Amino acid sequence: MSTVQHDVDERTNLISSNKFELLLFRLGESGISERSELFGINVFKVREIVAMPVITAVAGALPHNLGVVNLRGQIIPVIDLASVVGCKPKTGLNIMLVTEFARSTQGFAVESVEEIVRLEWSQVLSAEASTAGGMVTSIARLDGDAENTRLAQVLDVEQILRQMAPKDIKDVDSETIGAKLVIKPGSVILAADDSAVARGLIGQALDAIGAPYIMAKTGKEAWEKLQAIYATAQAEGKDIRDKVAMVLTDLEMPEMDGFTLTRNIKQDERFKGMPVVIHSSLTGSTNEEHVKSVGADAYVAKFVAEELAATIRRVVAH
């Protein structure tokens, strides 16, 4: 475990072209088979890995919430990740992954930690429906395109947080979100996010400010849609900005991540001046610096609808 922790500390700052690192762990038997399946979470979200500390139960806690731990003075809720996805550990919940995303810190109890693998996002396929109760956003082919590649289920942390801590992800309040967005008639916002929960919340926010939109599930899908819209605009003798007011993208997505999508847009003369806003649960100054390096016009952390709306209004107005 100490080697894995060293890798987390050493590689958290990794940003390569359409690459990421996945921390692999096991949760136990799934109930469908006796095999212990591999699961994964982006290294960017893992603050540290510790042996399971003493947990204090909390009265009235939601199902799958084991209680809280005191980690160097910080009180952290601990989620039974095995139970969430329907697995039964063979040896118990031995490890806690301390994760940070969506402006919150929480511990995920897992059976064991395996290794960290570096992957191309092209090795990750979208897979919202799974045996893990809809908690999996994609499937990673760990050994590339080999026929007998190992597979790992990449967990949808937004969905887990939504179910385990609903107070941390609130529905959009149309009364507090602010003024309607003013954009060119006929233009839309092109949004990309691989999480069904995130897409739903983004859609609520855009509806609340009266912004028409097109939604994509991956960066690759968004890139293909943008190019198709450009071709249509050209055929009609229009500018791409007459069709697309801005692009809103997540960072972690199968096939093509948000960094690569943003870089593609900003380096392509066809989309000169196209505003791009990155909307991600990967918070922190390091990620914000990476956002600047690929030329994004703004960065907003998930998920506060009022902040997202204010950012969209500011970027589109320029």
Global pTM?
0.77
The total of other beta-carbon atoms located within 10 Å of residue 148's CB is: 5
| Pair 259, 290: CB distance under 8 Å | yes
Question: Residue 302 carries which side chain, given as an amino acid letter?
Answer: K
Contacts of 205 (CB under 8 A, 6+ apart): 172, 177, 305, 308, 309
The answer to whether 275 and 38 are in contact (CB under 8 A) is no
Q: What is the pLDDT of residue 187?
A: 96
CB atoms within 10 A of CB 269: 5
- Are the C-beta atoms of residues 153 and 132 closer than 8 Å to each other? yes
Superfamily per CATH, domain 3-164: CheA-289, Domain 4 (2.40.50.180)
- Report helix, strand or coil for 40: strand
188-317 architecture in CATH? 3-Layer(aba) Sandwich (3.40)
Q: What is the pLDDT of residues 97-152, one digit of tens each?
A: 998 776 778 999 999 999 999 888 888 888 765 545 568 888 999 987 667 788 99
pLDDT band at 1 (very low <50, low <70, confident <90, very high): low
Could you read off the pLDDT of 190-226 as tens digits, one per residue?
999 988 888 998 999 999 999 999 999 999 999 999 9
Domain assignments of the chain as residue spans, ordered by start: 3-164, 188-317
Amino acid (one-letter) located at 183: I
Tokens of 256: 């093509």
